[in-house]
Amino acid sequence: MNREGLVDTGTGPAVVLLHGFPHTPRLWDAVLPRLAQTHRVIAPNLVAGGDGLALAAAVADLLDGLGIDRADVVGIDAGAPPSFLLALSRPERVRRLVLMESLLGRLPGAESFLANGPPWWFGFHQAPGLAETVLEGHEREYIEWFLRAGTHGGRGVAPEIRHAFVSAYTGRAALASAFAHYRALPVTAAQIASLAVEQGRRLSMPVLAIGAHPIGPALAAQLRPVASQLTEVQLENCGHIIPLDAPGPLLEVLVPFLLTPGPGDS
């Protein structure tokens, strides 16, 4: 995994934070100072997408390069499937798993959310070459739409963060690289089905599922059959971009979860 834009700060047990689209590691700006008081916080740049297992392997390689054997893993949006697949495929690397505002392939539980089909941009982003052709030169307007839609009441995010996100996704190459997350969705869904359904693997570590708007409880419903120790939290008056939209409420549930000792902790 390319270390450009990697955040590595704080001391203590390692926690890996995986962002989604259209974000960068700056998604974690509002929660990082508190987490760094008790943890070594690793936040890689996932602007460049790919299938879930490839990204999970890249995270494992990153941990190897940093000399970290085991970490808590937190994933939101497009960062959730690779987090989930890392925990399923390499459980010895994941102490605790936190997933937020995402769906996990075709696992049962999200039928109500998907009753009218997936969000419109999934198909738009998946069509090879289309989205980057249409959006080049209009990246700011497009990214800002997601930032308004992903926050409660459409309030958006601070100008500095907004500028960082727009800059990361400006240009045809950057857009195409980001849309690789979406173009790999069928592969990622097949990987999830293979591990969780066909092979019957389960998450043995403690798992925290955090919902807001619009995913809500659908993620937790998908996790119930495969997680042995599942905690479910629903944040009210909070949009999709939880770490920026409701950092205080997020920390109120995240910090105690990460600090609770578990089996294998020294």
User: pLDDT per position in the chain (266 positions), as tens?
Assistant: 556 789 999 999 999 999 999 999 999 999 999 999 999 999 999 999 999 999 999 999 999 999 999 999 999 999 999 999 999 999 999 999 999 999 999 999 999 999 999 999 999 999 999 999 999 999 999 999 999 999 999 999 999 999 999 999 999 999 999 999 999 999 999 999 999 999 999 999 999 999 999 999 999 999 999 999 999 999 999 999 999 999 999 999 999 999 998 766 76
Whole-number Cα distances in Å, 81 to 38, 97, 98, 154: 26, 11, 11, 26
Asked if residue 12 belongs to a domain, the reply is yes
Rounded distance between C-alpha atoms, residue 107 and residue 225, angstroms: 9
The number of distinct structural domains making up the chain is 1
pLDDT at residue 262, rounded to an integer: 72
157, part of any domain: no
- Say if residues 222 and 102 touch (Cβ distance below 8 Å): no
CA dist 37 and 242 (Å) reads: 20
Q: Containing domain of residue 71, as a range?
A: 2-114+190-259
Question: Is residue 19 a part of any domain in this protein?
Answer: yes
Which CATH number goes with the domain that contains 55?
3.40.50.1820
Q: What are the distances in angstroms from CA 151 to CA 75, 144, 213, 214, 261?
A: 18, 11, 9, 10, 33
In this prediction, residue 261 carries a pLDDT of: 84
> Which residues lie below 8 Å from residue 256, measured CB to CB, with a gap of 6+?
none
Domain assignment present for residue 132? The answer is no
Q: Does some domain include residue 152? A: no
In a domain, 185, yes or no: no
Report the pLDDT value the prediction gives residue 266, as an integer from 0 to 100: 60
pLDDT recorded at residue 5: 83
Q: CA-to-CA distance for 3 and 158, rounded, in angstroms?
A: 25
Q: How many helices (H) and strands (E) does the chain have?
A: 12, 7
Half-sphere exposure for 237 (CA within 13 Å, toward CB): 4
d(CA 134, CA 258): 42
d(CA 232, CA 222): 11
Whole-number pLDDT of residue 19: 98
What CA–CA distance (Å, rounded) separates 250 from 243?
Answer: 7
